[in-house]
């Protein structure tokens, strides 16, 4: 399936970088008396649609929070299931994403993932690395604090002196190096917190929390939020 470009959104003031905390899979499944993994599988389908909707809308960068450094605290069954879904997603989707010129990047502590997840992620990144369309960041084993600690380590390994440390240099060592900060952050399922997502990068990001659980989120709701973002007045500390 080729993505089409029939999006009705105004191109004016379109967010360049959208970040999404895909939350509520477990509660969605619970309401249906189904296991949590049923919710995660449904969430994967939503992700497929939202990636396409982003590409169609001409969004340059989409970053989704798929697994946090704290999510290892869940049951072994759920963690294993989520890792299997990640492998399945990379294997199944890479062909279509590649056809549509999407560049996949996994951000987070990749070395801490199961080897099979690392392999699938690296293959997806390698296949799509020269693509020039949507940059699609999948945050896996990602933590905002871990991101900053790794950046500090990288600066120290390069022998950067204290007086040479600047926001720009630290920014250039984050997992999101080279990318602008998110303009818009969406969190589904009604929780109003960052849960350790992109702590540094969201300094001036516009937040939208919606009650919909991630598996029920769709293109219409997504474009509605983008339109709401287009109405916001960003000041960045100015008067
Ligand atoms: C988001 O859904 C997916 C991951 C964190 C991996 P949850 O699994 O957090 O669902 P809820 O918040 O428990 O409903
Ligand atoms: C954040 O959601 C992580 C992801 C969506 C991957 P959580 O469900 O883990 O966050 P908390 O525990 O509700 O803060
Ligand atoms: Mg949750």
For ligand 2, atom 8, name the residue with the nearest CA. 23
41 is catalytic: no
CA of 80 to the centre of ligand 1 (A): 14
Above 70 in pLDDT, residue 91?
A: yes
Going by pLDDT thresholds of 50, 70 and 90, the confidence category of residue 143 is very high
Structure tokens at 49: 């649609």
Ligand nearest to the Cα of 25, by number: 1
Tokens 């920014």 correspond to 171
23 is catalytic: yes
* Given the residues 41, 71, 100, 146, the one annotated as active site: 71
Q: Averaged over 198-223, what is the pLDDT?
A: 98
Beta bridge partners of 4: none
Nearest atom within ligand 2 for CA of residue 70: 9
Q: What are the chain's domains?
A: 17-230 (3.40.1180.10)
Residues near ligand 1 with C-beta < 6 Å? 22-27, 67, 71, 82, 189
* pTM given for the model: 0.97
Query: For 36-64, what is each residue's pLDDT tens digit?
Result: 999 999 999 999 999 999 999 999 999 99
Nearest atom within ligand 2 for CA of residue 66: 6
pLDDT at 78: 98
Above 90 in pLDDT, residue 8?
A: no
Q: Classify residue 168 by burial, with Cβ atoms within 10 Å: 0-12, 13-18, 19+.
A: exposed
């Amino acid at each position: 399936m080729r993505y089409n470009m029939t999006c009705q959104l105004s191109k004016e003031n379109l967010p360049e970088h959208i970040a999404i905390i895909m939350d509520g899979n477990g509660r969605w499944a619970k309401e249906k008396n189904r296991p949590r993994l049923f919710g995660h599988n449904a969430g994967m389908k939503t992700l497929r649609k939202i990636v396409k909707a982003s590409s169609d809308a001409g969004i340059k960068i989409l970053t989704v929070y798929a697994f946090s450094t704290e999510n290892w605290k869940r049951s072994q069954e759920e963690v294993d299931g989520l890792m299997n879904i990640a492998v399945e997603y990379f294997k199944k989707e890479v062909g279509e994403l590649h056809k549509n010129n999407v560049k996949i990047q996994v951000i987070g502590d990749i070395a801490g993932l199961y080897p099979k997840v690392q392999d699938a992620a690296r293959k997806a990144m390698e296949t799509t690395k020269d693509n020039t369309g949507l940059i699609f960041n999948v945050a896996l084993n990602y933590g905002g604090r871990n991101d900053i600690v790794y950046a500090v380590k990288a600066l120290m390994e390069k022998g950067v002196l204290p007086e040479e440390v600047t926001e720009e240099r630290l920014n250039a060592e984050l997992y999101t190096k080279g990318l602008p900060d998110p303009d818009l952050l969406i969190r589904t399922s009604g929780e109003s917190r960052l849960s350790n997502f992109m702590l540094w990068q969201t300094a001036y990001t516009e937040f939208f929390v919606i009650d919909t659980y991630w598996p029920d989120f769709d293109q219409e709701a997504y474009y509605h939020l983008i339109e709401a973002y287009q109405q916001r007045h960003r000041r960045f500390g100015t008067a």
